Amino acid sequence: MPVTFEYCSLHYLNQWLKHDMDLFTGISSNNKTERIDFLKKATSYYKISRNLQTQYDVDIGFQRYEPLLKVLDSIDTSYFPVNSVDVVKEIRKIESKISNKYGGKGVLSLTTKLLWLKIQSPILIYDSQARIALNTPDGALSDFYDAWHQEFAKYKTDINEACANLVKVRQYSINPNLATESKVKHWASQKWFKERVFDMYLWEKGRK
């Protein structure tokens, strides 16, 4: 059975309600302890902790993920670029900083996932299943961005329609009390939400 954007929109609404909303809010907290706690939750949920070994933070006297938090805290989101070429360059810079803090490990996917939780759009999450769906070379972030945007443009009308109709099925979400009509209308109208709906589509396509 083909994956529909109606399915993907409800799927992402559930992920937002269950995980991403709290992670996004927590990582934006003004409290350092809370930000670190939510980084722990984020790295666990997104299964990205394996490249952030404790020998580079806890074992040398830092709190868990404190070096990572310092990199994320140094980002001025108000001046983050929106042009894809510049976004990719900035992501690569941040990836390098995180990698340097953690022993030179490859952290591209990790970097994009945490940046998305901090910034949302224009960040795209670089994920192996999405990359497979888009048929781009492993590690080629610029190619991934180009292919992602080209494919998104093809389905933009369908995605917009599915998101506009999401409020009609909000009662089938995992938390209808939280997913009120006004909130669902607001979330589903946002660029970042529509982009994540497309991610759900790519992930389903990439794992087949």
Per-residue pLDDT in tens (0 to 9) along the chain, 208 residues: 678 999 999 999 999 999 999 999 999 999 999 999 999 999 999 999 998 999 999 999 999 999 999 999 999 988 899 999 999 999 999 999 999 999 999 999 999 999 999 999 999 999 999 999 999 999 999 999 999 999 999 999 999 999 999 999 999 999 999 999 999 999 999 999 999 999 999 999 988 6
Burial group, residue 202, by CB count within 10 angstroms (0-12, 13-18, 19+)? buried
Domain count, the chain: 1
Please give the structure tokens belonging to residue 89: 């360059």
C-alpha 92 chain-centroid distance = 16
Q: Which residues contact 199 (CB under 8 A, 6 or more apart)?
A: 12, 124, 125, 127, 130
Determine the structural domain holding residue 134 and report its residue range: 5-206
